[in-house]
Amino acid sequence: MSTAATAPPTTSAPPTWALRTEGLGRIYGDPGPASLVGTGPDFGTEISPATGAVVAAWDVGFEVAPGEALGIIGESGSGKSTVMRCIAGDEQATAGTIALRGVGDGTVNIRDLSPTARRKLRLQQISAVYQDPAAGLNLDVTAGGNIADPLTAIGWRNYGSIRQRAAELLQRVEVPVGRMDDAVRTFSGGMRQRVQIAKALANDPPVLLLDEPTTGLDASVAAGVLDLLRHLLEETGIAAVVVSHDFGVIDLLTRRVLVMQHGRVVESGLTDQLLEDPQHPYSQQLVAAARG
């Protein structure tokens, strides 16, 4: 986890990480300290007995280096997606620091930025792939049109270049280029997810967030998408955060992992070690279930 090993940004050299969070928290309801008392894994709940607030995530910190993938695993309601949404800017975190190397060499807490500035980050600094392709795509627009969205947003105005870039990206995610001009609604689930990945990669962002990217796909299709993601992460040098409840996905894509329960991180470490020798009872339970 984040230790004192990383010096505070006093030096001018850019940090080695691409994304860093520290003390990240999100509380629904009274954000005061009274809400924290009596919540977390030790108490078996994320709902504050005193205020009734939901402490969806608290004190989450990690760093992800370029070319590295970090997993966040936990059951439904453990706060893993909340963490991702706070980093993506879909929600505003209650507390903590989120820094990107691409923004002021990591000295800027992007949580303090205006909603407008946060949205701009989503164009070139940080991309997200959601479980539901409809959340990241306009299904009534063609595959090419969906990819044209982030490209035109940063100023692409040449029709030929846009199409060329879209075709390249579709090829990379193994969608037949012949289907580029079909509405995404006519695509299968796996193909839609591939288009969503292509759109997320359109502007070569340094950070990619994947929220349950293969949940909802049948096993063989999910395997194909995972294989694609694994290759993309290896090739691009992108820093990725993979949120999943499935140890299979985490094992395949990531080298380091955080285990979350009731809004807190209960264990973290190298993925293969954690799978071999889980320490926290909840991690043991998760691994046992995965080994089932």
Partner 1 sequence: MTTHLTTELAGPPPAPGIFDELSKREIRRAVLSGIAIPGYQVPFGSREMPVARGWGSGGLQVTLSLVSEKSRLKVIDQGEDAGVNAANLRRLVVNHVGCEEETDTREADIIQSRHRIPEQPLRDGQVLVLQVPGAEPLAGIVKEMDEQRRMHAEADYAKMWVRLYEDVVHNGLVTAAAGYPVLVEGRYIMTPSPIPRWDVPKLNGSQAITILSAGREKRIFAVPPHTHVVPLTFEDRPFEVEHTPGAACRLCGSADTYIVQEPARDGQFSTWACSDTDFCRRRRAGDAPATVPHVQPTALQAAQPSEPAPPALVQPAAQPARRDQEETA
For binding to partner 1 (CB under 8 A), which residues are involved? 116, 119, 138, 141-142, 144-146, 148-150, 152-153, 157-160, 162, 181
Residue of 170, 247, 181 whose CA lies nearest to 214: 247
d(CA 266, CA 264): 6
When the beta carbons of 117 and 270 are compared against partner 1, the nearer one is: 117
d(CA 41, CA 281): 11
Supply 218's token pair: 């049948």
Q: How far is the CB of 54 from partner 1 (least distance, A)?
A: 27
When the beta carbons of 44 and 155 are compared against partner 1, the nearer one is: 155
When the beta carbons of 136 and 190 are compared against partner 1, the nearer one is: 136
Q: How far is the CB of 21 from partner 1 (least distance, A)?
A: 26
Residues whose CB is less than 8 angstroms from the CB of residue 235 and which lie 6 or more positions away in sequence, other chains included: none
The radius of gyration computed from the CA coordinates of the chain, to the nearest angstrom, equals: 19
When the beta carbons of 10 and 116 are compared against partner 1, the nearer one is: 116
Collapsed DSSP state (helix, strand, coil) of residue 61: strand
Q: How far is the CB of 122 from partner 1 (least distance, A)?
A: 11
Supply 275's token pair: 């799978």
Q: How far is the CB of 119 from partner 1 (least distance, A)?
A: 7
